[in-house]
Structure 1
Amino acid sequence: MSPRKSGAPQGRADDALSEEQARRVREALEHAITDDPTRVVVIGGGAAGLVAARDIARPGFDVTVLEERRELGGSVVRHAVAGIQLDAGAESFATRGGHVAELLEELGLADHVVTPLAAGAWLQLPGRAVPMPKAGLLGIPSSPLATDVIAAIGWGGAFRAYLDRLMPVLKIGEERNLGTLVRRRMGEAVLQNLVAPVTTGVYAASPDELDVAVAAPGLNKAITRTGSLSGGVSVLRENAKAGSAVGGLVGGMARLVDVLAADVRARGAVLRTGAKVVGLRPGGASADGDDVAASVDAAFDETPGGAEHEGERPRRPGRWRVRLAGGETLDADVVLLAVPADAALGLLGHASDSLSSLAGLDWPKASTVDIVTLVVDDARLDAAPRGTGMLVAETVPQSQVAAKALTHVTAKWPWVAQQLPAGRHVLRLSYGRAGSPSPLAGMDESGIRLRAIADASTLLNIPIAESNVVGSDAVRWTNALPIAAQGQRERIDRVRSTVEGVDGLEVTGSWLTGTGLASVVPDARKAAERIRALRWNTLTGNG
């Protein structure tokens, strides 16, 4: 049907057609809601999978979430250390875009959002520690001769950085590599001592691995407009919205998963943990009901769950059949993969001939990060001697400090400090840089604990006795490759365009969006919206 033009007279045929369409939609919806829901299988019960499942779960949809691990949430989970419930993974969310804030509002958690104390962070350099220069972007200073910049990199380094103001821009606006850009404009001192510690902490990657356009959107244009890197940084800082860049939740970010999972269940979805998916194949029916059973792998047809039990209504084939480790299979009209890159590409690459190119996709190996939490009784930490935490320059020998960052949790989040007795503190150390194994690899629990105590003592300049450590725990995470890594946008575009051409299949997750809830949440919601639109188009005859 051609779209109506505004102001044009409408004939009776159009009116009759619209009434007929409305009748068809009503009948289709009534039938679909009661007898023929769209079956959606979400593979992955992390934040992305849960957010998408919540948006999909509504009348007309039968949603099942399959999570391999025994707990939901992915990297947004908690652990108990010395009797205190703390975040074991993500401890905050970026406020940019307002996407996480909107979700928290919908879930009734808006009143529990808190911002970290503005005590500032410090920087550990070889042999000394200094406050992190404040007026910068990814560690790039907007004022190279500022006092805190000179304190960090000395007069020589600061003067070299100032030469950026005198250098011609030429074609610098086309530079994609962040490390190359900073090195050319401001020199090695800024790159190694200011920028590298920040990018290692934010992206788990060195500046030489990052794409300027992704890591610092708009910076190249700002450089061209102002004539210098420092000028471009200054412009971007001025244009940034006021307010804290991150937020957290009283009780920890894991509360988000608790409330989110409860809401998903309340909407009728089924959440299954300990359910490892080992295979994905086309099922017995295409989008318009054509029989494509011949394309189904024989192993799927022979596994439990593939045949109907006596007395049950025959199982309607779906576009896809999902196979679990125990042999069970599930029919699905739509499958959403919300798992890490290795698992997703492994399933996609063998799902059908049209996706086989993804099996051999050259996807760089993700980095491993160890998070070690110490609970310490030491009143000297009350003064927060290094603010809310520290970043460690890569130029610091690992023999002196193996950690790449330290967060003084009780100095950063008042809600944690308020539940502890006087003089008790929580310290969180991060280990593992991109391209290198974690320095804790191969260590036993005692070795990890002693290494973390030694590093915390050096970074805080307070010798912490092992006897004062009342609890500790170590958690290992595999980070998604930074979306800002050079070449990563092209790899992501290839995955998305390949999957887009396959009916009833969607992908989402941090490996495609970049880490952090601010990136994961909006992408998951867009995937859910496309799944809902697929059903609507089918029901209305517009698909």
Structure 2
Amino acid sequence: MSDEPVLPGDGPETVDDIGEEIRHVVEAPPTRIVVIGGGVAGLVIARECARPGFEVTVLEESGRVGGSVAPLELGGMTLDAGAESFATRGGHVAELLQDLGLDDDVVQPNPSGAWVRHGSRSVPLPKAGLLGIPSSPLATDVVAAIGAAGAVRAYLDRLIPVLKIGQERRLGTLVRKRMGRKVLELLVAPVATGVYSASPDDLDVEVVAPGLNSALTRLGSLSGAVGELRSAAKAGSAVGGLRGGMWRLPQALAADIEARGGGVRTDARVISVEPWSATEVDDTEAGEAESGRAQLDDAERAAAEPQRAGRWIVRTADGDLLVADAVAIAAPADSALTLLAGVAPELGELAALDWPAASSVELVTLVIDDDRLAASPVGTGVLVADVPGADVTAKAMTHSSAKWAWVAEAAGDGRHVVRLSYGRAGRAPESTALGDAELRALAVADASRLLNIPIAESSVTAFARTPWTNALPYATVGQRERIERVRSGVDGVEGLEVTGSWLTGTGLASVIPDARRTAERVRGLRWRSLTDALHADRPAQTD
């Protein structure tokens, strides 16, 4: 009889048995993870998985990482070409920035806020609101923005009988019924389309303003519901930025992935994800090299050996073939749906759902030498209402050097950075058909009107245009159900995950926590597999 202690478990095990299991786990080959898409979502997954026991590779189709968080070299400065800030809700972005050692560079925008333009008139955007919906309809800034008659109509919201929960699912319909056309067109539409790239009539209330309908039912008015949601929000700025630009975040993520032993490949377009086929891998990886094996060096010979079995084969456009135990797809919607179709027939049906049209926008950045802009005549920028008589084509303008102190420092005295956005929901950007010279002239004219300062062409020292396409509106009515179809379909496939802004909502505060949850599931796959293997090796218990 052994003197070794017996430990509790699935059967009688000695200390040596447990040690053998531990050794088995430690010496097990690494779980191979391929992350498709090098935007922030894909990079977060890769970073969370780049640890002992995991072999991580990121494949990014373009020539850089970051997706819509991108740098722009202009006028001797490095600016943001895409996303310039992050929502502070939940603390998810701040936590990641702290992990990466960037927390000391987190900055807040100028609190003066933005203006809104109706036709040829600009006024400060009322502050005490949610998505442009005022909590105090008769407040001075609301009256200034939509007129006394519009404010009185909005106040009638307090007198209209309450709606039932869920009766109005569309934001535009809800606001129009409760507060009238002027609040919708002059306040809500400019804000909502700027945030969600969709008309308020297409936006799902429960997605863009969770809890608004229930608060409306309890309090009896839309303005009261907005006030409650605002009071429940944490104090402080709702957005933050990064000194030097948000583009530093994906750069830091990529560097950290590689420091942890992971790989990041750009210019690597994935054309398919298919279930593992040992015969196919052997033929392509080893069989073709067999005839020249005598001439291979050790490294080449090792690379030509048949690969260890996995769950998936990931193919790239340049002919590379990667075997993976887990695949996380963090690509845009069109690419992700195409790849999912190759995984299983039932996932191919997802692309046939009634997806909304992708939105497109083009950003124009101007560097302007003009001391008059130092007065910041319209705060940090202007949102433009889409109403008859509008005298500008842009849907929004950000006075970047007025909004962010670090941009003003980079620009220097007398020099300013202004960014204009073209392209409204449901239609292509008006800038698409314009050449650079035409678009530059249009942007200068629009900026002059929005700033109420005539800007000379000669004072514009730098110009850049940055098109962004294929952004799938997340918050439109019916999108929740389509997203649930995608998630439930993928959940049924072991070793496959999908995430990205088209499933989580735009903004880093939505993308990052979902990517982290995805990484947790991917990491869990290794331990489930090892546990299954260990239990399979044990003899069955007998009484």
1:495 has 2:491 as partner: no
Distance 2:42 2:159 in 1: 50
Distance 1:451 1:169 in 2: 46
Distance 1:106 1:47 in 2: 15
Distance 2:409 2:220 in 1: 49
What is the correspondence of 1:479-518 to structure 2 with a 5 Å cutoff?
480-518=471-509
Distance 1:164 1:532 in 2: 50
Residue 381 of structure 1: aligned partner: 373
Q: TM-score, normalised by structure 1?
A: 0.92
Distance 2:366 2:7 in 1: 75
The amino acid of 2:323's aligned partner reads D
The correspondence for 1:28, drawn from 24, 30, 37, is: 24
> Is this contact kept in 1: 2:72–2:81, CA < 8 A?
yes
Q: Secondary structure at the match of 1:371?
A: strand
Distance 1:396 1:376, change over 3 A: farther
Q: Secondary structure at the match of 2:46?
A: helix
CA shift, 1:521, in A, is: 0.5
CA shift, 1:27, in A, is: 2.2
Q: Secondary structure at the match of 2:183?
A: helix
Structure 2: runs of 5+ lacking an equivalent: 1-5, 294-300, 536-543
CA shift, 1:361, in A, is: 2.7
Distance 2:256 2:467 in 1: 29
Residue 221 of structure 1: aligned partner: 214
Residue 433 of structure 2: aligned partner: 442
Structure 1: runs of 5+ lacking an equivalent: 1-9, 286-292
Residue 155 of structure 1: aligned partner: 148
Distance 1:24 1:418, change over 3 A: same
Distance 1:72 1:262 in 2: 11
> Is this contact kept in 2: 1:305–1:328, CA < 8 A?
no
Distance 1:283 1:227, change over 3 A: same
The correspondence for 1:263, drawn from 246, 256, 259, is: 256
What is the correspondence of 1:6-155 to structure 2 with a 5 Å cutoff?
16-17=12-13, 22-23=18-19, 25-32=21-28, 36-155=29-148
Between 430-439 and 356-365, report the one with greater CA deviation: 356-365
CA shift, 1:199, in A, is: 0.3
CA shift, 1:329, in A, is: 1.2
Distance 2:361 2:388 in 1: 18
CA shift, 1:420, in A, is: 2.3
1:128-159 superposed Cα distances (whole Å, 9 cap, x missing partner): 11110111110000111111111111111111
> Is this contact kept in 2: 1:43–1:49, CA < 8 A?
yes
1:239 has 2:240 as partner: no
> Is this contact kept in 2: 1:405–1:430, CA < 8 A?
yes
1:370-390 superposed Cα distances (whole Å, 9 cap, x missing partner): 010000000000000000011
Residue 296 of structure 2: aligned partner: none
Distance 1:386 1:404, change over 3 A: same
> Is this contact kept in 2: 1:350–1:359, CA < 8 A?
no
Over the matched positions of the two proteins, sequence identity in percent amounts to 61
CA shift, 1:458, in A, is: 0.6
Distance 1:261 1:18, change over 3 A: farther
CA shift, 1:359, in A, is: 3.6
1:23-79 superposed Cα distances (whole Å, 9 cap, x missing partner): 4541232212xxx11111111111111110000011111111111111111111101
Residue 541 of structure 2: aligned partner: none
CA shift, 1:504, in A, is: 1.2
Distance 1:136 1:304, change over 3 A: same
Q: Secondary structure at the match of 2:363?
A: strand
Residue 411 of structure 2: aligned partner: 420
Residue 6 of structure 1: aligned partner: none
Distance 1:273 1:158, change over 3 A: same
| Number of equivalences | 518
Distance 2:178 2:442 in 1: 37
The amino acid of 1:484's aligned partner reads A
Distance 1:13 1:536, change over 3 A: closer
1:65-115 superposed Cα distances (whole Å, 9 cap, x missing partner): 111111111111101111111000010010001000010010000101000
Q: Secondary structure at the match of 1:435?
A: coil
> Is this contact kept in 2: 1:280–1:347, CA < 8 A?
yes
CA shift, 1:307, in A, is: 5.7
Q: TM-score, normalised by structure 2?
A: 0.92
Quote the RMSD (CA, aligned, Å).
2.0
What is the correspondence of 1:346-361 to structure 2 with a 5 Å cutoff?
346-361=338-353
CA shift, 1:257, in A, is: 1.4
Distance 1:208 1:305, change over 3 A: farther
1:385-423 superposed Cα distances (whole Å, 9 cap, x missing partner): 00001100011546x211111100000000111122311
Distance 1:79 1:19 in 2: 60
The amino acid of 1:250's aligned partner reads R
Residue 176 of structure 1: aligned partner: 169
Distance 1:536 1:14 in 2: 17
The amino acid of 2:25's aligned partner reads L
1:346-386 superposed Cα distances (whole Å, 9 cap, x missing partner): 11112222422224233222100101000000000000000
The amino acid of 1:340's aligned partner reads P
> Is this contact kept in 1: 2:150–2:183, CA < 8 A?
yes
> Is this contact kept in 1: 2:165–2:214, CA < 8 A?
no
Q: Secondary structure at the match of 2:265?
A: strand
Distance 1:380 1:119 in 2: 18
What is the correspondence of 1:363-378 to structure 2 with a 5 Å cutoff?
363-378=355-370
CA shift, 1:260, in A, is: 1.0
> Is this contact kept in 2: 1:304–1:328, CA < 8 A?
no
Residue 409 of structure 1: aligned partner: 400
What is the correspondence of 1:459-498 to structure 2 with a 5 Å cutoff?
459-478=450-469, 480-498=471-489
CA shift, 1:171, in A, is: 1.9
> Is this contact kept in 1: 2:285–2:306, CA < 8 A?
no
CA shift, 1:15, in A, is: 8.0
> Is this contact kept in 2: 1:122–1:130, CA < 8 A?
yes
The amino acid of 1:341's aligned partner reads A
Residue 458 of structure 1: aligned partner: 449
The correspondence for 1:166, drawn from 154, 159, 162, is: 159
> Is this contact kept in 2: 1:121–1:131, CA < 8 A?
yes
The amino acid of 1:66's aligned partner reads L
1:158-204 superposed Cα distances (whole Å, 9 cap, x missing partner): 11111110010042553211111001000100000000000011111
Residue 290 of structure 1: aligned partner: none
Residue 250 of structure 1: aligned partner: 243
